[in-house]
Amino acid sequence: MPPHSHSPGGIGLPPSGPVFLCLLVALLQPASPCPPPCLCSSDGLLVDCGGRGLSSPPPLHLLPAGSRSLLLANNKLAALGASAFANLSSLEELDLSNNYLDNLPAGLFRDMSNLTKLSLHNNSLTGMDRDLFQGLGGLQSLDLSLNGLASVPLGILDEVEGLRWLSLAGNRLRGLERAAFEPLAHLQHLELGHNPWECDCNLRDFKHWMEWLLYRGGKVDAVECTLPKDLRGRDIRGVPVEMFNYCLQLEDENRGGGGGGEGSLGGLPCSKGGLNPSGAPPISGGDDSSSNTGGRGGGEAPADCVRARYRPVSVRRAIGTVVIAGVVCGIVCIMMVAAAAYGCIYASLMAKYQRELKKRQPLMGDGDADVDDRDEKQISSVA
């Protein structure tokens, strides 16, 4: 028999030795790579780079194709480049919590169009660019808790109008603009606790917006006031709206006086980029970044004007005023009816008493006449 036999079809036997081992190793290799030092799930959908002591992102271009979740929590990330998450359109979850991020470039997430959950919990953010969330039209959950945020810029939430869950707890927020949150028509859960809220006129309009959110079934945690002193520790949701009526008077005074100081509520007269005299937002025909980003161009509106540019009419306050006026009028009417009824009853009783008195007077007169006759008879008999 020849040393190398062949099968009837003319195909040789499977190779053996080193050639076979090489083929076996090639077949056992993962279909997609995993960026070191991360761990990837067998299907490549989850990439876990958390708790690896990373001071910069791993080579994300090595992410398995179609990855859905990228976990970068519990590292030492302090800065991210503008293209750090470029070409990661398949990601649906990004966790950057528990790092040292203090400044994020505008458009950082612009390529992550399918992202639905973003966590920036427990970082060092003190400010956010208005275009930070550009491209995140499908975002549903955003965690910005435990940072150093002192404000939420107008327009920053315009790109994430589908947001359903938002946390701003544990920051340095003293007040919020209602206009910044009005695009969130689908929001269901809002966390605002552990902030140094100043429950003054600057928070009045946002209080109305929170009441609207609660009215349509949303949830808001406690918003405890730190100032003024008479409201310290109270939840602003339970503060009667009538306590803010003085704000309207101050606004009228400021508008009538042609401006105000730093703490004025009406703000300075608005010009190009702010409000028109009727109080409506300006109609912009081009780039209005100078009026929103705080630029120092020639058409910049005063800061107070931008802050007070939205002056909604409080339907709740109007209804409350009508209800209170109705209750007061009702009480007055009841008192008047009661007084009239009391007067009628008193007059009726007095009339009855007078009739009885008149009936008794003739009887009393006859008795006196009899007494007089008896006295005369006694006198005549004695005489």
Q: What is the 3-state secondary structure (H, E, C) of 225-247?
A: EEECHHHCCCEHHHCCHHHHHHH
Using CA atoms, how far apart are residues 55 and 275, in angstroms rounded to an integer? Answer: 45
Residue showing tokens 């150093």:
148
Q: What is the pLDDT of residue 354?
A: 83
Residue 288 Cα distances to 70, 236, 256, 294, angstroms: 35, 34, 28, 11
Give Cβ neighbours of residue 31 (< 8 Å, ≥ 6 apart).
44
Asked if the 30-257 domain carries CATH number 3.80.10.10, the reply is yes
Residue showing tokens 């470029």:
86
| Every domain of the chain and the residues it spans | 30-257
Q: Which residues pair with 235 in a beta bridge?
A: 224
Q: What is the pLDDT along the chain (383 residues), one digit of tens a residue?
A: 444 444 444 444 454 554 444 444 444 444 568 999 999 999 989 999 999 999 999 999 899 989 999 999 999 999 999 999 998 999 999 999 999 999 999 999 999 999 999 999 999 999 999 999 999 999 999 999 999 999 999 999 999 999 999 999 999 999 999 999 999 999 999 999 999 999 888 888 898 899 999 998 999 998 899 888 888 888 888 887 767 766 766 666 666 654 444 333 333 334 333 333 333 344 333 444 333 444 434 444 444 444 444 444 444 555 667 788 888 989 999 999 999 998 989 988 888 888 888 777 665 555 555 555 666 655 555 55
Q: Cα-flanking dihedrals φ and ψ of residue 118, to 5°? A: -135, 125
Question: Residue 71: which H helix or E strand, with range?
Answer: strand 69-71
Q: What is the pLDDT of residue 280?
A: 38
* Helices and strands, number each (H, E), in the chain: 7, 11
The two three-digit tokens of residue 217, written as one number: 């079934």
Q: Is residue 306 packed enough to be buried (19+ CB in 10 Å), middle (13-18) or exposed (0-12)?
A: buried
Q: How many CB atoms lie within 10 A of CB 37?
A: 10
Using CA atoms, how far apart are residues 200 and 236, in angstroms rounded to an integer? Answer: 10
35 preceded by cis ω (within 30°)?
Answer: no
